[in-house]
Amino acid sequence: MKKRKYKVQGTILVSLMVLVVLTMIFSISTMAAEKYSEAPELKLMVEAGTLPKVEDRLPENPLVVQPIESIGKYGGTWHRGFTGIKDYHAFGRHVYEPMLRWPQDPRDPVQPGLAKEWEWSDGGKTLTLHLREGLRWSDGYPFTTKDISFWWYDIELNTNITPAPHAEWVIDGEPMELEVVDDYTIKLKFAKPNGLAETVGLAFHGNQWPLGFERFGFFAPRHYLEQYHPMYNNAVDYSVFEEKAFDYNTERPVMTAWKISEWGPGATRLVAKRNPYYWKVDPAGNQLPYIDELVLTLFEETEALNLRAIEGGFDFQFRRISLSNYPAFQINKDSYGYRIFLWPDAVASKLCYYFNQSIEDDGLRNIFQNPKFRQAMSVAIDREQINEVSYLGLGVPRAFTVVPDSPYFEPDIEQFYAQYDPALANQLLDEIGLKKGSDGFRTRPDGSRLEITVEGMDWDKATLDEMELVVAAWNDVGVRASMKTMSREIYWIRATSNEIQVATWTESRAIDPMVDPIWVFPFDERSWMAPAYGTWYKSEGKLGKEPPAYFKEMMALYDQYKVTVDPDKQKEIAKKLIRTHAENVFVIGTVGMTPNVVVVNNDFRNVPETFTTDWIYMAPGTLEPCHFYFDR
Amino acid sequence: MIDYKRRSEHIKKLYEQQNALDESIAHQMMSSEKIAFATSQWRMMWRKFIRNRIAVIGGIVILLFYLTALLANFVAPYTLKQRMTAYSLLSPQRIYFFAEGRFQPFVYGLKGSRDPKTLMRIYVPDPEKRIPIRFFIQGEPYKLMGLFPASTRLFGVEEGIVSLLGTDGQGRDMFSRIIIGSQISLTIGLVGVALSLIIGAFLGVSSGYFGGWVDNLIQRVIEIVRSFPPIPLWMALTAAIPPHWPPLRVYFTITIILSLIGWTWLARQLRGKVLALREEDFIMAARLAGASDGWIIFRHLIPATLSHIIVISTLAMPAMILAESALSFLGLGLRPPLTSWGVLLKQAQNIQVLLLYPWLMIPGFFVAISILAFNFLGDGLRDAADPYTV
């Protein structure tokens, strides 16, 4: 369904472009000068002589955004809420401009972004990028390949800023080599074919460095940052550089639709204003964005943010809106004039459970490493009940694996050990020698007491309800379990340092987990099914603990994935990894694809009624927030 | 040389004789009609106390609360672990007392579904299905007062659900949770006050009695402790509790933390009282007679201030209960699976409860009632203990 819509849109696009070209051929250059139009406020500035003409601000071939609903109108302030400086994504995902763009439909290939074309040569060892000619930073300075080489040599390879370059740029232990051909052409050369460059390197990590606290990127404004870089200016140190390069710096030039103009210590709102040099247009030649400015109000508490949203205080937002409030939104939407959409979130499971297979305790580790134990724990859970209690019946009871929108999805894996069958659970537990005592609780095979602690963060009420239900279900099949929750700071440290027996998390990455495969196999310390093995893999065997053979096989498969450029072959490997993961129940899922509650003002247009959100895809960044508009 | 030891023994003997004489006189007078002239201090307090209606009501409410807490598992129709998810977020049920003209409490059976628009749980009573409420019904087994295995419950139903105060999101009966939660909330007051009483009485009386540098030191410590705003101080101390501690240990630690800060009021008031008392003739006499400091403190000063101590501790109790609720409400005190009123209130701390499920805030009502009752009782006791009021 979705695909066909794009094709129709594609046909419209082609015919429109033909029309534009024909008009251009038959009219003379005077017509071409009026090809583009701009926001009224910018027009005034052009007339006053404080800003160059729109034709001079746009690149030679600006990116044309196909509207989701219709061509828009200029003007308006987009009100949103966020929870503070750590909540950078509340802003950042709406101004996400990488080198190559993720497609709107995740099954499509990666799309052109700042780079208009790219090609592989040398059997996958060389990637040539062609930038759009005439791109400009928000201060009007040209955007060129120098901004990429500055990032690579002075940020990514500078150990004062980046301890080690990101994995997608280090193939076989060799960092990539850059060859700047001209201002708009650059070649990336790798020691071996690089299967991660397009998706991870240029789409996911291809943004302006550092994207809030994520500290990844692919370019940075050389002309502005050079003066604050200790390599070029002895008078400053790296803390100055970090401050100037940081996203919250209001002076820093950007390539995004809006640029932060108001933010600082003690501020209670973040204001971002239109970038007059933005490089996208609509099919009618109107320079984007339509909306004048974004205003994000600071809320200390998610509850307060939700209350504001219920009162219609936001024009379009789903971040930090809790599903439990859905009834309240439905009751109030008409009186406050907004619409409510339910967008599925690409979460394999809203809350998932990792039995730590690299835990120090030998007895527990042996139990947790037994697939039958994890299968038993999985079928002991009544997922329908959890869906009703915590997610208003809106989620999908399922195993922990990729969602149907993923290119690696196969229908059967979703239901592996996802049925509710306590009898089977008891039988499996009996089989592996965990005998039930007179008190109804099981002991370890050596007869000693079996007790597990499930740890989690201070989640919202619905998630804590689910956690309590799962812990109760495990007690019901005789595995003595208790739960503990704590603040995120304490929890994260305990989990990544291999101290938690059963960790929990709300894990996204269920469309393309290969981009950051932390839940597929022990990839790094964030892989809580075995953080110590993950550390071992990340450090190439220097740190952590050596994993058992079944994990090593998966690691070898991923190593192979990394050096495969052919998309079909990559897909084969990924599917194999995903299937192995599901069969072994490395992570236990309960209810997934729980929807986001999306609050959309009645006047706010170009927002689709359904859309699968995922953090890897920076949702809603792929919807082109620059073409949202107010129909007033 | 005066033999102090012999002399003090002699005085002690005299003292005991005098006591015996007093008692026999009192006894004689009581047996005669003229009670008013011979009533003891305690009896006078009691008479004054029962004239204060509000204080008596407060006292009765508190007695009831503690009795219910003691027999919580018997009074509550359900255990903490019983989740009736088919009846989650049920609003307080209406109880009908008379069926066909005679006393037979019952509830109607319920049909649960979701509102198609708002997706809220809705329950429609089925008028065809009357579920009688039975008394002394057999329910889930439990241990009465944590000791005696039992399974009889005060009331319950054989099918469906009886939920006086509604259910929470997991389908747990709020009435049962509040009753069982009162065990922790009310005992934290009792234990906490007992602890701060020991510290406060000891330090306060010593401070007043010895004076000098001892007094100075203790008073400055009190000022330091008091100069911290209490909530941030509790927050800092409870934040230091390791997150992996078992719930019971957390409970006791929090009690200790609360009492470590709560003793200062008592200590100060007792000091003032003792400062006045130590100048009294009977203390001087005891001292001249060679009584040791310990003897004077425990035999004279503490009994003389006992009424005061009782009043202060009664008034300190609600502060403790409130402190526990406040801390748990902020997520810094007790955490699930422990159930206290503060924990229950913490779970009601979101807007959907405020807008859609207001009955989950009922634990707050219980906190308020218990605190009011303690305050009324404390006020009544203070009036009764003060000989200068009429």
Local confidence band at A1 (pLDDT 50, 70, 90 cut-offs): very low
User: Hey, are the CB atoms on B170 and A393 less than 8 Å from each other?
Assistant: no
Structure tokens at B220: 């400055």
Local confidence band at B10 (pLDDT 50, 70, 90 cut-offs): confident
CB A402 within 8 A of CB A598: no
Angle at B196 (CA atoms; ends B191, B199), nearest 5 degrees: 130
Helix, strand, or coil (residue B267): helix
Give me the mean pLDDT over the A332-351 stretch. Answer: 94
Q: How many helices (H) and strands (E) does chain A have?
A: 19, 26
Structure tokens at A461: 């009420």
Residue of A nearest to B82 (CA): A472
Q: Does B240 touch chain A (CB under 8 A)?
A: no
Beta strands A280-281 and A63-64, pairing class: parallel
C-alpha span between B76 and B34 (Å, rounded): 50
Give me the mean pLDDT over the A310-317 stretch. Answer: 96
Fold of the A349-592 domain: Dipeptide-binding Protein; domain 3 (3.10.105)
The CATH homologous superfamily for domain A97-255 is: Dipeptide-binding Protein; Domain 1 (3.90.76.10)
Structure tokens at B85: 């998810």
CB A354 within 8 A of CB A589: no
Nearest to B256 by CA among B271, B234, B232: B234
Q: Does A392 touch chain B (CB under 8 A)?
A: yes
Give me the mean pLDDT over the B272-289 stretch. Answer: 84
Structure tokens at B219: 């008073």
> In this structure, which amino acid lies at residue B105?
P
Local confidence band at B297 (pLDDT 50, 70, 90 cut-offs): confident
Q: How far is CA B214 from CA B208, B218, B259, B304, in A?
A: 9, 6, 22, 22
Is a pLDDT exceeding 80 seen at residue A8? no
Mean pLDDT of chain A: 91
Residue of A nearest to B244 (CA): A484
Is a pLDDT exceeding 70 seen at residue A2? no
Residue of A nearest to B89 (CA): A389
Give the Cβ contact number of residue A261 at 10 Å.
Answer: 13
Q: Does B248 touch chain A (CB under 8 A)?
A: no
C-alpha span between A58 and B127 (Å, rounded): 72
Helix, strand, or coil (residue A180): strand
Reported ipTM = 0.77
Give the pLDDT confidence of B91-130 residue by residue, as tens digits: 999 999 988 888 889 999 999 999 989 999 999 999 888 8
Residue A553's pLDDT is 96
C-alpha span between B370 and B378 (Å, rounded): 12
User: Hey, are the CB atoms on B169 and A331 less than 8 Å from each other?
Assistant: no
> In this structure, which amino acid lies at residue A312?
G
Residue A488's pLDDT is 80
Structure tokens at B342: 């503060």
C-alpha span between A397 and A375 (Å, rounded): 16
> In this structure, which amino acid lies at residue B101?
G
Residue A3's pLDDT is 43
Local confidence band at B390 (pLDDT 50, 70, 90 cut-offs): very low
Question: For A319, which DSSP code?
Answer: T
Lowest mean pLDDT segment, chosen from A6-15, A225-234, A334-343: A6-15
User: Hey, are the CB atoms on A325 and B352 less than 8 Å from each other?
Assistant: yes
Is a pLDDT exceeding 70 seen at residue A20? no
Backbone angles phi, psi at A475, to 5 degrees: -60, -35
CB A515 within 8 A of CB A616: yes
Residue of B nearest to A325 (CA): B352
DSSP-assigned letters across all residues of B294-309? HHIIIIIIHHHHHHHH
A300, A381, A388, A453: best mutation site toward chain B, by most B Cβ within 10 Å?
A388
Strands (E) in A409-471, as ranges, are: 451-457
Q: Cis before residue B230, ω within 30 degrees of 0?
A: no
Local confidence band at B43 (pLDDT 50, 70, 90 cut-offs): confident
A305, A322, A389, A454: best mutation site toward chain B, by most B Cβ within 10 Å?
A389
Q: pLDDT exceeding 90 applies to what percent of chain A?
A: 79
Give the pLDDT confidence of A602-623 residue by residue, as tens digits: 999 999 999 999 888 998 999 9
Is B335 or A526 the better-scoring residue by pLDDT? A526
Give the pLDDT confidence of B305-338 residue by residue, as tens digits: 887 888 888 888 888 888 888 878 877 777 777 8
C-alpha span between A415 and A404 (Å, rounded): 12
Give me the mean pLDDT over the A227-250 stretch. Answer: 94
pTM exceeding the 0.90 threshold for the entire prediction: no
Distance from CA of B137 to the nearest CA of A (A): 25
Nearest to A97 by CA among A74, A72, A80, A115: A115
User: Hey, are the CB atoms on A461 and B169 less than 8 Å from each other?
Assistant: yes
Lowest mean pLDDT segment, chosen from A112-121, A132-141, B343-352: B343-352
Distance from CA of B169 to the nearest CA of A (A): 6
Give the pLDDT confidence of A62-116 residue by residue, as tens digits: 999 999 999 999 999 999 999 988 889 999 999 999 999 999 988 889 999 999 9
User: Hey, are the CB atoms on B351 and A327 less than 8 Å from each other?
Assistant: no
Local confidence band at A429 (pLDDT 50, 70, 90 cut-offs): very high
CB B218 within 8 A of CB B206: yes
For chain A, how are helix, strand and coil distributed in percent, rounded to 5?
35, 20, 45
Q: Which residues of B touch A485 (CB under 8 A)?
A: 335-336
Mean pLDDT of chain B: 84
Question: For B144, which DSSP code?
Answer: E
The structure tokens 């305990």 sit at A494
C-alpha span between B261 and B228 (Å, rounded): 10
Lowest mean pLDDT segment, chosen from B67-71, B155-159, B317-321: B317-321
Q: pLDDT exceeding 90 applies to what percent of chain B?
A: 23
Question: For B266, which DSSP code?
Answer: H
Structure tokens at A577: 């990894």
Nearest to A217 by CA among A230, A201, A229: A201
Strands (E) in A431-549, as ranges, are: 451-457, 480-486, 502-507
Is a pLDDT exceeding 90 seen at residue B232? no
Q: What residues have CB less than 8 Å from B358, skipping those under 6 apart?
A: none
Local confidence band at B38 (pLDDT 50, 70, 90 cut-offs): low
Residue A10's pLDDT is 53
Residue A580's pLDDT is 95
Q: How far is CA B335 from CA A184, A499, B79, B252, B332, in A?
A: 59, 21, 18, 13, 8
Q: Does B41 touch chain A (CB under 8 A)?
A: no
What is the distance, to the nearest Å, from the Cα of residue A575 to the centroid of all Cα atoms in its chain?
21
Is a pLDDT exceeding 50 seen at residue A27? no
Local confidence band at A31 (pLDDT 50, 70, 90 cut-offs): very low
Is A339 or B198 the better-scoring residue by pLDDT? A339
The CATH number for A37-84+258-338+603-632, chosen from 1.10.3470, 1.20.1070, 3.40.190, 3.40.50, is 3.40.190
C-alpha span between A320 and A308 (Å, rounded): 12
User: Which of B119, B337, B347 is closest, CB to CB, to A461?
Assistant: B347
Is A449 or B35 the better-scoring residue by pLDDT? A449
User: Hey, are the CB atoms on B349 and A303 less than 8 Å from each other?
Assistant: yes
Residue A5's pLDDT is 46
Nearest to B12 by CA among B295, B281, B294, B293: B295
Beta strands A177-182 and A185-189, pairing class: antiparallel
Local confidence band at A28 (pLDDT 50, 70, 90 cut-offs): very low
C-alpha span between B271 and A589 (Å, rounded): 62
Give the A:B interface size as CB pairs under 8 Å. Answer: 71
Residue B142's pLDDT is 87
User: Hey, are the CB atoms on B117 and A330 less than 8 Å from each other?
Assistant: yes
CB B308 within 8 A of CB B385: yes
The helix-helix angle for B53-70 and B362-385 (nearest 10°) equals 130
Give me the mean pLDDT over the B32-50 stretch. Answer: 68
Q: pLDDT exceeding 70 applies to what percent of chain A?
A: 95
The domain ranges of chain A are 1-35, 37-84+258-338+603-632, 97-255, 349-592
Give me the mean pLDDT over the A278-294 stretch. Answer: 96
Through-space distance between the first and last CA atoms of chain A, rounded to whole angstroms: 31
User: Hey, are the CB atoms on B243 and A303 less than 8 Å from each other?
Assistant: no
Is B298 or A583 the better-scoring residue by pLDDT? A583
Residue A189's pLDDT is 96
Q: Does B120 touch chain A (CB under 8 A)?
A: yes
Is a pLDDT exceeding 70 seen at residue A316? yes
Q: Cis before residue A210, ω within 30 degrees of 0?
A: yes
Give residues 404 to 433 of A whose Cβ lies within 8 Å of B.
Answer: none
Is a pLDDT exceeding 90 seen at residue B269? no
Give the pLDDT confidence of A499-510 residue by residue, as tens digits: 999 999 988 789
C-alpha span between B307 and B273 (Å, rounded): 11
> In this structure, which amino acid lies at residue A602?
N
Is a pLDDT exceeding 90 seen at residue A148? yes
